[in-house]
Structure formats: structure tokens, C-alpha cells
Structure 1
Amino acid sequence: MKNNFLLTFTFLISSFSLFAQTYITNVTVVDVEKQKLVSNQTIEITNNLISNIRKSNKIKLPKNATIIDGTGKYIAPGLVDAHIHFFQNGGLYTRPDAIDLRKYVSYTEEIALAKSDMENKLKRYLKNGITTLIDVGATYNFLEQRNTFTDKDFAPEIFITGPLLTTYESEVYKNLKHDEPFTLTESIEDGINGVKDQLKYKPDFIKIWYIAGRDGLSIEESARKNLPIVKAVIDEAHKNDLKVAVHATQEITAKLAVENGADFLVHSVKDKILSKDFIQLLKKNKTILSPTLQVSGGYGKTFGQRLQFSNDELLTADPYQLGSLLDLKHLSDTLLVNNYKTRLNKPNRIANLKKADSICSVNLKTLSDAGVLIATGTDAGNIGTLHVSSYIKELELMQKSGMSNWQILEASTINGAKIFDKENEFGSVTIGKKANLILLNKNPIKDIKNLTDIHTVINKGVVFNPNDLLKDTPRDLAQRQLNAYNLRNIEAFLEPYADDVEVYTFPNTLNYKGKENMRKRYAKMFENVTNLHCELTERIVKGNVVIDKEVVQFNDITKEAIAIYRIENNKIKKVYFVRE
């Protein structure tokens, strides 16, 4: 039977070669399974599959083929983010249970934005080489919306669950019907019915939010009290051939979940260094773990107003969600804002966060070295953990824990496929697997940041220039420079501007010309002004012109201002400041 299969597959591959659409020539293959670089290869893609890989001098190119020159480049599997949430946008207003700002932005508006923006999120992910997404806690509406993108070339492959089954639910999420991200399960019957209710929406798996201690009991007492419900959910899911992911951040909840059949732990254990027995349990059960190292810090740094972003994050993030994180500087409820800032900046709070981060880091290194399967996940969508841009930060934190670049790449590709036993379908550059690939300009093994230097993305066999997937609008450019201004990041601030930018006092008095002159003026201001913040109060966009009405804080001065940006060739070419 096995030989017949191989003969059939060989025949199919030979047949495919007659109709091959795309060849990537003279490229170095990043082999994440064997952890080696294989140079001077040509990849043949037929329809949506990798149909051949051979030495470049051993393969003949058809005259009518699409050919991509991979000389000096590296071909790697598309990346997997094994932990995201579509129902959360990543900005300041996305979790009213964490900070209630519904008087500024209603949660109804936030939900509507999450649904309407899903296509842009998907394009942003693909633009940055992420070809597979695992949503580990969604809503019934997103389960249905997922189906809209199944056959879209620009959409990464989506694995998704429905509402999180939990014994604790915040009041702000109740009674939202199909927009409710949680299902309260207070009994074994509730847990079983919670699984059954999701089946008609065809989820890819089931997720449990194993929250212990909210009922007034100790962590262990609470965990054991709720264990029968957790076990009932796992058993019912497995009965229906669905794997189960579990949110468990204490060793006791994680241990009990794995002992009772959990397939996927979606966070690190952060309360203690893991015992040898628990590590062996994970290996024995082949449980996969996603560390999500940055998400707690995202909340703390946002509420404590200690945010910093790299140039890459400022360039790749949704600029409006990133910008919203800075709104705490100007919201009118100063008592609420200052209480959060004071609490999150207390020395003991920062020390506790650092301790938890250190425990997570040590545990990750130990687990990885022990051979436990690690899958890269960001928990994107939470406040301060932005979709797409948080991915490279997660990789850097994994690297900081001591994981090698090969281990990180394995966690970010083939291990993500293993969560759903799909390693024979995608996750490596292998004949017969899906052509979900990224062509890199630089070697990612030499520097993990080279994963951001993408020449070409191939998704479902379709070739994309990343810059064509999601183009900057004039509004985007204006917002990006505003974000960088408020973060005092001179390089990111200058990025949206043309090299020969002209800055005027309205209507036509030229103040100066050129990006370098702008650099001198703004770098000095960013360095010397003690209280610098710009609040956008109104924005008008007309074609390639953006008009911003602002309230600007400058040392002890607050004043209104109007800035007019004229965009040419996708850069801000002219700026007009309207003076009083």
C-alpha cells in the first residue's frame, strides 16, 4: 500500500510539472526540520503545492513559467502565530474588563471595528510573512466570518475556536449574544453543552479559560473545585475529534489540565519554576506550549505609560491601534488614568512583573531544551500586544530566554502545524506541502530580525509583493508620523516624509526644505522638551491631502494647531502649519 501511494504521488508530481506556474531559482532553502541551510536549490510550485525541489543545475525551466530569481536569498516556510484574537484590536479600548473607557469608545463600536477590520488584519499578517493564524478565543460571529476568507489568496490559513469556556466571566462581556467571547460554565452540564453549542459553527478546536482563585478560594482549591468541569469539556471535545487548548498560567492549573487531556497550553506557567515531573508529563502527552512572553508587559507598559516601540513595530502595526495606546496622555478622566499609572509604576508591581517574566523565560529555555514542543504565539489583540507587529518582539524574547534561532524558527513554523497534526501539509519547505512560503533577502539564522526583510510572500501558491498587499493611505502616513512624534522616535517620525519634504507656514511661506533639516529641528525638540504630546481632535482627508486639528503640549504650554499634509508618491511631500 505504501509503495502504491509513493508511485501515485510521484506520478502526480510528474504530471504537475507539465503545468508548473512558478519557479524560485538559485535559492537557499531554510530546512527547519533538519536545521540546516541547503544552497543553490530551485523550488517548483504547481497550483498551491511545492511540486519539486532540486539542485538548480538539475532542473529545466519551461519557457512560459513564472521565474523568481532567488540568488542570494533564503526561502523559508510561512510563519505561524499560534495565539491571536480577532475580537480584540490591540488598542486601548479593546478590553473594558481591564480598563473601562466605554464613555470614550463604546464596546459596540470596538466590536464593530474588529469585524470590519478583519480583512485588513489578514492582509497585514500576510504582508509580514505570517501565513497561518490560530485564534484561541473568538465569538460565533468570527467563526462565521472566518468562512468568508477561506478561499481568498490574500488571507492566511485560519484555525479558530468559538467563545472561551470558563468558570469566570466579567460582567462587561455578558449578554452580547453572538459577539460574546465567553461561555460561562458553572457545571459539568454547562461545559458539555458549551462544546455542543459550538459544533454547528465547525470550530477547529475548543478553548478553556482555566481561571483559578476568582471564587475566593486558594489557587489550588479553586483549580481542583473546577477540574470536573474542565475534564468534562475536554472529554466532550475529544469525543467530537476536537483538540483542546487551555489557558493555564499556574503550574497546578496547567498540570491538572494536561493530566486530563489538554492538547495545547496557550501561555507560560509564571508562578514557579517548572518541576521535572511536569516537564516529563508534557513530553509524555506530547502537549504543545505557546509561551506568549510579552502580553503581561503590554498591559503594564500601556497603563504605566512606559511604552516604547521599535522602528519596525511603528512601521508594521496598525497605526490607529498603536496611536490609541498613547491616549492616556490626554483623556479627561485624569483620576482614573493617574490611578492606573501610579499602580502600575509602583516598584513592587514592576518587580513582580519582572519576576514573572524571568520565571517564564527560564521555563521556556528548560522546556525547549527538554524537547517539549514550543509554538510561537503572541496573544495579539490584547492591550499593548498589537496584531502583526508584536510577532518579531515575541521572537526576540524567545531568543533572550536562550532559544537558538533554529529552535525559534522551528517553533514559528513546523511546530505550529503540529498543533493540529498538519505537519504533513505545511510548516516546512518540502515537496508535496502547501506553497506557503517567504522569500527573504537575508539569512534568518544569522539574525532572527532578518525575518522582517521579506522580498516575496507566497500564499496558497500565489506570489505577492508584500508592498502590494496593504498599501499606505495618506491617512496612514499622517498617523504614523504622529505616533512617532508622541514617542519621540526621530527615525520613525521621518520615515513617512519625502527626502525633499517642504515645510511651510500657511499659505505659502517656505520655512525649510529637506528631511535632514527636519531631522535637526525635531531631534533637538524630542531631546529637550520635557512635556511633549499631540492630541488629534479632528482629521479631514480629501484625496492626497490630510488636515489635522490638534492640541499640542509643549513644555508648560498647551495650544491648538492645524497641520496640513500633502502626499505625493506615497510620502508626505509638503506640510503647512496654520499659525494663529
Structure 2
Amino acid sequence: MHRLSLRRWALVPLLLLLGACPALAQPTALVGPTALNPADSTVIEDATVVLKDDRIAAVGPSSDVTVPDDATVHEMPNKYVMPGLIDGHVHFFQSGGLYTRPDVLDLRAKRPYAEELRRIKERLPDTFRRYLRSGVTSVVDVGGPMWNLDVRARADTTAMAPTVAVAGPLISSVERPSLDEGDPPILQITTPEAARKEVREQIIAGVDLVKIWYIVRQGETPADYRPVVEATIDEAHNAGIRVAVHATELETARAAVEAGADVLVHSVFDKPVDDAFVRLLRENDVLYIPTLMVRERYRETFVQQLDLTTAEHRLGQKDVIASLFDLRTLPDPLVPPELRQRIQQAPETPSDTVAMRNLKRLHDAGIPIAAGTDAGNIGTPHGPALFREFELMRTAGLAPQEILATATAGGARLLGRDDLGQLKPGM
């Protein structure tokens, strides 16, 4: 046996990074850590985990696990090992910085959107590595330009990259022309026939999911766009592809699930969920991704009261993080007057308690939850954002082991992978 002290490793990264690397040439044993399997709340102190051919060959108390004679042994007393984390909601076409959503805050006079996209593509390998450094070994990009497929291909052929699943352009009730630089991330689709055609094209291209942006504008009702939603879901399901829906109001989310949505990719923010909605999600086995932090971070950025976590300062991309504070120094003509006034007033930015209460109620009712951040949106950096999401889930009332389960077994369920998310032989 070859023995190596790994006292420098923190909570999870060793196993996570090993899981993201090419198959190991010889067995590897992690000896002495506390092994956590959040899916069933198993905790094994003084455990041994044996890895072979990029899989877990054995896991259990050190007294019960035989370490192969040819194994490389990593001594890990006082450390922890658990499955790799999964961020179930990210967008690689967005940076997390101030200039990444001109449809929300138009600063193209300062940085052209084409330049923002160029920087995002240039730093993609670094973005991959920051996910791994954060312990995130799998992500789901739930909608963006067809370039998303190139992101997945690069991740598949890059040693230091998470597993990536992707959706294509969002099938949307609204248009976002400021985001269209020739490969639009959002497509306004207005008829069922056009929706079916777009779904077929995305499936031929190889998407893992189809995404609907179900936005109900003032003066409209969810029923207005429902025929397009139903056609989209039916066409995707006919091909065996699941559908994720952005629907943040209760009645819109209800309509989406009634139409057959498999995944709700945000919390219901506008009002408390009711008993009928809980039953509807349970009966249709819908997966719920709360993304509690993304609205908080927009609010904090727009009043320049950002409260980033230590992990985000340490592991976030420095230029992206720095850009979030540019509103303090940008000339007045670039900053909308109402936004400048809010910055000067510096109001408090309370957490979204409705969304938190809804998450707690749905979780307690047995609705499956997958953790996700909406990383890439303004104020939500790729990689370490998941830790802030965990803090908000804890504030909502979920226990630590329940939160970890949403980011491991819950994420594996979103990915449709039975070989991820648990710490057991064969994973």
C-alpha cells in the first residue's frame, strides 16, 4: 500500500475531485474520514472508501472494509467524504456579473453584450474549475443558446470539469431581443405548431431537457399561453424528454403542472401554496427547485448592499465579483434614476419569506426537492453560490442533512442518473 497524508483537504473536495477525474489506474482508499450519505442520513465514523475504475468499490467502517494490497491509501482522519454536490439550475451563457443581463439592466453602453459573451466563453475552463473547487461535480444548465451543447461537449472532454446536462433556448411567452447576438437564449414562440417544431429541432440537436419560460404579463392570464405550454410538453414527452418550466406565480405554476411539467425550476414567490397545489405536485411526481438566492442577489446588487459569503469571495471569479460593485462608480447617464435613488437610500433587502415558507411546506409534504442557484444571473456567481442557497434553505427550516440530500440525491434525480448522488458501491 502507498500511504499519503491529506490533512490539507477540507470538508468534501477530495472525493468530489476524484469523481470528476478520469478513471483511476489503480485502486484508491480513503481511510479514516467520516462518510456521509445524505440520501438516507447514514453517517459512518472512521470509514474507509475504496475507489476502483472510477467507481466506489466499497464503503463502510474501516474495521469491515479490506483495502487492496495495490491501493494508494489517503489517510483522512478528522475529514469528511460525501457525494459530489449538484447545482440543479445554472446558466453558462451568463457570467454572474453586472453586465450579463441587458434585458434587466441595460449597460451595453459600458460593455457591449457581444463583449460580455466573448469573456464568458473565454473563461469557460476556469468556470468549470471553480465548480469543482466548490465541491460541485454536476450541474444542469436549464436554458440558453445552442452554444450550451458546445459547453456540454467541452465538459465531457475536459478532465477538470463537472458533469453538465443542458437545455436549449427557452421556449418563451415573451421576447428578449437584447440577448440575441445571433444565437438567442430565449425564443418567443406564439403558436403550438411553432412550439412543436422548435422542440423537435432541439431534440435532434441533443438537448437533455426542454425549458419553458412561462411569463404572464400584466393583463394576461396563464390560460393565454397554456396551449403553447401543452404542445411543448406533449412533443417533448413523445420523444422521452422531460420539461422544466419557469413559473414563479402560484396560478402559473399550477397551470404548468396541469399541462404536464416535470420540473418547476423556481420557487412560487407570490403567495403561499395551497393544499390543492401540494396534491397536484405529489400526484404528478414533480421536482421542485427553489432557487431562493437569485432574487435576493438582484435586490442586494441593485441597492449595492451585497453580502457575499466567504466562499464566494474565495472561489468566485474576481473580475465578475468586482463588477457587481460598479453601480457605485458608473456615471449617472448609465444608471437609471430610480436605481440611483435606491442606492442612495440603501434600503434593507429582506429575504423572500413566502418562497421560504413554500419550500418548507412542500418539503414536509414529501415533494422531491433539488437544490439550484440560477448561477450566472446578476449577483449569483458560478461555483460557490450553492453555499448561500444552503444558508437560505436552512433559514427556511430544512435540516442540514435534508439540505445536502437536495444537492446530492435530489440533483441526481433531476439528472436522471441512478449512479450519482449517493455514497455506496457502484456509484
Give the TM-score normalised by the residue count of structure 1.
0.67
Map of 2:322 onto structure 1:
323
1:432 aligns with 2:426: yes
Deviation track 1:147-169 (CA, whole Å, cap 9, x = no partner) reads 12203221110011111110101
1:173 aligns with 2:175: no
Map of 2:310 onto structure 1:
311
Cα distance in 1 for partners of 2:398, 2:236 equals 33
Q: Shift of residue 67 of structure 1?
A: 0.9
1:293 aligns with 2:292: yes
Partner SS for 2:245: strand
Q: Can you give the 5+ residue segments of structure 1 that lack an aligned partner in the other structure?
A: 1-18, 434-580
Q: What pairs up with 1:247-396 in 2 under 5 angstroms? A: 247-334=246-333, 336-343=335-342, 354=350, 357-396=352-391
Q: Can you give the 5+ residue segments of structure 2 that lack an aligned partner in the other structure?
A: 1-24
Q: Is the 8 A contact 2:86 2:139 kept in 1?
A: yes
Map of 2:209 onto structure 1:
205
Relative to structure 1, the CA distance from residue 335 to residue 31 in structure 2 (aligned partners, 3 Å threshold; closer, same or farther) is closer
1:106 aligns with 2:100: no
Map of 2:9 onto structure 1:
none
Q: Is the 8 A contact 1:380 1:390 kept in 2?
A: yes
Map of 2:159 onto structure 1:
153
Q: What pairs up with 1:412-451 in 2 under 5 angstroms? A: 412-422=407-417, 424-433=418-427
Relative to structure 1, the CA distance from residue 344 to residue 326 in structure 2 (aligned partners, 3 Å threshold; closer, same or farther) is closer
Relative to structure 1, the CA distance from residue 196 to residue 177 in structure 2 (aligned partners, 3 Å threshold; closer, same or farther) is farther
Q: What pairs up with 1:460-479 in 2 under 5 angstroms? A: none
Quick one: which amino acid aligns to residue 413 of structure 1? Answer: T
Quick one: which amino acid aligns to residue 336 of structure 1? Answer: V
Map of 1:8 onto structure 2:
none
Partner SS for 2:46: strand
Quick one: which amino acid aligns to residue 74 of structure 1? Answer: Y
Cα distance in 1 for partners of 2:187, 2:177 equals 12
Aligned residue among 202, 210, 219 for 1:217: 219
Map of 2:14 onto structure 1:
none
Quick one: which amino acid aligns to residue 405 of structure 1? Answer: P
Q: Is the 8 A contact 1:28 1:37 kept in 2?
A: yes
Relative to structure 1, the CA distance from residue 345 to residue 298 in structure 2 (aligned partners, 3 Å threshold; closer, same or farther) is farther
Map of 1:64 onto structure 2:
70
Cα distance in 2 for partners of 1:248, 1:86 equals 21
Relative to structure 1, the CA distance from residue 392 to residue 95 in structure 2 (aligned partners, 3 Å threshold; closer, same or farther) is same
Quick one: which amino acid aligns to residue 119 of structure 2? Answer: L
Partner SS for 2:63: helix
Q: Shift of residue 231 of structure 1?
A: 0.5
Deviation track 1:276-300 (CA, whole Å, cap 9, x = no partner) reads 1101111111111111111112112
Deviation track 1:289-318 (CA, whole Å, cap 9, x = no partner) reads 111111112112112111222333211111
Deviation track 1:20-74 (CA, whole Å, cap 9, x = no partner) reads 5211112222121221312232111111111112432333333432111122222
Q: Is the 8 A contact 2:57 2:426 kept in 1?
A: yes
Partner SS for 1:425: coil
Highest CA radius of gyration, 1 or 2?
1
Relative to structure 1, the CA distance from residue 150 to residue 299 in structure 2 (aligned partners, 3 Å threshold; closer, same or farther) is same
Map of 2:54 onto structure 1:
48
Partner SS for 2:86: strand
Q: Is the 8 A contact 1:378 1:394 kept in 2?
A: yes
Deviates more, 1:27-36 or 1:160-169: 27-36
Give the TM-score normalised by the residue count of structure 2.
0.90
Map of 1:97 onto structure 2:
103
Deviates more, 1:297-306 or 1:321-330: 297-306
Q: Is the 8 A contact 1:328 1:337 kept in 2?
A: no
Cα distance in 2 for partners of 1:57, 1:21 equals 18
Q: Is the 8 A contact 1:162 1:181 kept in 2?
A: yes
Quick one: which amino acid aligns to residue 204 of structure 2? Answer: K
Relative to structure 1, the CA distance from residue 227 to residue 416 in structure 2 (aligned partners, 3 Å threshold; closer, same or farther) is same
Quick one: which amino acid aligns to residue 41 of structure 1? Answer: A
Quick one: which amino acid aligns to residue 212 of structure 2? Answer: I
Map of 1:21 onto structure 2:
27
Q: Is the 8 A contact 1:263 1:288 kept in 2?
A: yes
Cα distance in 1 for partners of 2:345, 2:269 equals 20
Map of 1:133 onto structure 2:
139
Partner SS for 1:396: helix
Deviation track 1:160-193 (CA, whole Å, cap 9, x = no partner) reads 111111010122124x332x10121011111111
Q: Please report the RMSD computed on the Cα atoms of aligned residues, expressed in angstroms.
A: 1.9
Cα distance in 1 for partners of 2:167, 2:283 equals 25
Q: Is the 8 A contact 1:144 1:201 kept in 2?
A: no
How many residues matched? 404
Aligned residue among 112, 118, 125 for 2:124: 118
Q: Is the 8 A contact 1:115 1:142 kept in 2?
A: no
Quick one: which amino acid aligns to residue 339 of structure 2? Answer: Y
Q: Shift of residue 334 of structure 1?
A: 4.7
Q: Is the 8 A contact 2:309 2:388 kept in 1?
A: no
Partner SS for 2:341: helix
Quick one: which amino acid aligns to residue 270 of structure 1? Answer: F
Cα distance in 1 for partners of 2:334, 2:342 equals 12
Map of 1:75 onto structure 2:
81
Which structure's relative contact order is higher, taking Cα pairs within 8 Å and 6+ residues apart?
Answer: 2
Q: Is the 8 A contact 2:41 2:401 kept in 1?
A: yes
Relative to structure 1, the CA distance from residue 38 to residue 363 in structure 2 (aligned partners, 3 Å threshold; closer, same or farther) is same
